[in-house]
A and B are shown apart, each in its own frame.
Chain A
Amino acid sequence: MSLNVLYDAPGPKTRRNSMIASIVGVILIVAFFFWMYLTLAAPRVNANGAVLPGTFDPSRWDILGRADLWLSFGIGTLNTLRMAAVAAVLAVLIGILFSFGRTSRFAVVRGVTGVVLEFVRGIPVLLMIFFVFLVFTAGSYWSGVFGLALYNGAIIGEALRAGVKSLPRGQREAGLAVGLTPLKAWALIEFPQAFRQMLPIILAQLVVLLKDTSLAFIVSYPELARTIGNNRNYFGSRYMFTLFVIGLVIYLALNLTMSWLARFVARRSGPRLGKALPNTPRQIGVDGTRAITLPGPGYGPPDPPH
């Protein structure tokens, strides 16, 4: 059985054409990178007529042996993780509160939560962090944590609400029928199922949160992105490219590990294909069997934007 329904298993002619296209593609990509390499490596003449060494000149990379450089990046990475970890826990808690408020029996609570949610979701995280920083004078660490936790909590809250809504009505009714109070039915029956079902989306959102810790840059929190800037001031801007590459590699390593972990956990404990409940909002084929496109590395629920 072909994995992909969109086209046949390629015959000899198609295979040849596809091979040619692949080779041309690879040549183009290699050529592009080679051109980039040459551009980067070429010495430049600045406005004063002085010749600057190319980007790959040893004089631009000699700081790699400096212990204080690696120490500063280590501290920056730790600071990023410290903020992300606390903000993640708070975001899930705030998310639970939001979803609880949105499904409250009292119209006033529902209304107020809805307005707060729209407000929090609709403004940039950057503005939120800045807001907490200036209005509550919370210090750079806590304003970053609270700004991120509030914003991501709102999104997790909506995911949880959708999860509760997608459960069959019988779940809650059965709970009430055996004498649970509405609160207990929610906490013991509806919420655990919704949480499990929405775990992939929540984890994807936590990866976003990790990425967004870089926005604490604005309140001078010494996280990874700020570390790049600080090191540039310390070592000089001719090392900017070098420092940027180090920061980029650390971010990619952190985020790809987190994304991979999120996918792994989602696959282990999330709803299984075909086993999910009828109204589960899922991204994979609506009839619950297979998806049209090949399951690539990006398989699973797409990351929520931002």
Chain B
Amino acid sequence: MIDAIIDVTPAYFAGFLMTLQLLAISGVCAFAVGVLVATMRISPVPSLRLFATVYTEVLRNVPLLLVLMFCALVVPILGSDLDYFPLALIGLTAYTSPFVAEAIRSGFNGVPVGQAEAARSVGMGFTQTVTLVVLPQAARMVVPPLINVFIALTKNTSVAGIFFVDELFKQTDAATRDNPGSVILVLIYAALLYLVITVPLGLIAGAIEKKVVVMR
């Protein structure tokens, strides 16, 4: 029993690091793209709004597995020679960014409309209203749902394991085959490693949420 745990530890450690890398890089990229899409979504230019809406709707309604399948199996056919790791990063970023955008938009909508109206009535323009009045208030409310998006991303990195990235789930899959005697142990070990990332993030989100509620 204990042997199995010791046996899989190096592979799990490598997989865990890979999962963290996937999370960090695609998290930052998805945040950047998400902010861009959210900005387009509220911008005064109709074509930008339309584009952002279509982008969000399409990507939110396609399973992550299909997005990553496109990256890993279709893109190489189209003549790209990217490695599976950057391909997985692109897929995770594309899939996560609409959720980031929606989290930001819901934060915007959480700011009482009177705030924006007051800003407009003292003569502020679009940019001033957004950057000086709405955004600072929305930022606090955006953080908890945004953390939830990143928790989901942490769990979603496991799908990259199906498509040839040696992250934690793929190592788990291999470990269950190498240690048929202690499958449960090996699986729970992997689950705990995921919990090491997701539970603290969840606690932070909960704490911030409480604070925001108190401030209102």
Q: Do A and B come from one complex?
A: yes
* Interface residue? A78 (CB, 8 A): no
Cross-chain contact B134 with A303 (CB below 8 angstroms): no
> Count of B residues near A, CB < 8 Å?
75
Check A247/B66 contact, CB under 8 A, given A6-B126, A124-B169, A134-B183: yes
Chain B, residues 120-164, CB within 8 Å of chain A (1/0): the string is 100001100110001000000000010011011101111101100
CB atoms of A7 and B173 under 8 A apart: no
With contacts A240-B73, A292-B113, A298-B57 taken as known, whether A127 is within 8 angstroms of B169 at the C-beta atoms is yes
A306 partner residues in chain B, CB cutoff 8 A: 64, 99, 152, 155-156
Given A10-B44, A40-B78, A292-B116; A123-B195 close (CB under 8 Å): yes
Per-position binary interface string of chain A over residues 208-247, scored 1 when its CB falls under 8 Å from any chain B CB and 0 otherwise: 0001111101100000010010001000010011001001
| Minimum distance in angstroms from B105 CB to a CB of chain A | 6
Answer yes or no: B108 CB below 8 A from chain A CBs.
Answer: yes
Q: Is A62 an interface residue (CB 8 A)?
A: no
Q: A122-B198, A127-B158 are in contact. Are A21 and B41 (CB under 8 A)?
A: no
- Segment 78-126 of B: residues with Cβ below 8 Å from A: 78-79, 99, 102-103, 105-106, 108-114, 116-117, 120, 125-126
Contacts of A124 in B (CB 8 A): 155-159, 169, 194
Query: For the complex, would chain B's binding face be called helix, strand, loop or mixed by DSSP majority?
Result: helix
Bound complex: CA of A39 vs CA of B103, how far in Å? 34
Contact partner of A130 among B62, B116, B187, CB < 8 A? B187
Q: Which of A7, A135, A228 contacts B183 (CB 8 A)?
A: A135
Q: Which of B45, B113, B149 contacts A290 (CB 8 A)?
A: B113
Expressed in whole angstroms, the Cα–Cα distance for A127 and B134 within the complex equals 40
| A-B contact sample (16 more), CB < 8 A, given A225-B66, A302-B99 | A6-B120, A123-B198, A124-B157, A127-B187, A134-B183, A207-B61, A214-B63, A241-B74, A244-B66, A244-B69, A244-B73, A286-B112, A293-B42, A293-B105, A298-B105, A305-B99
Seen from chain A, the residues whose Cβ lies within 8 Å of a Cβ on chain B are 5-7, 10, 14, 18, 21-23, 25-26, 29, 39-40, 44, 55, 118-119, 121-127, 130-131, 134-135, 207, 211-215, 217-218, 225, 228, 232, 237, 240-241, 244, 247-248, 251-252, 255-256, 259, 283-287, 289-294, 296-298, 302-306
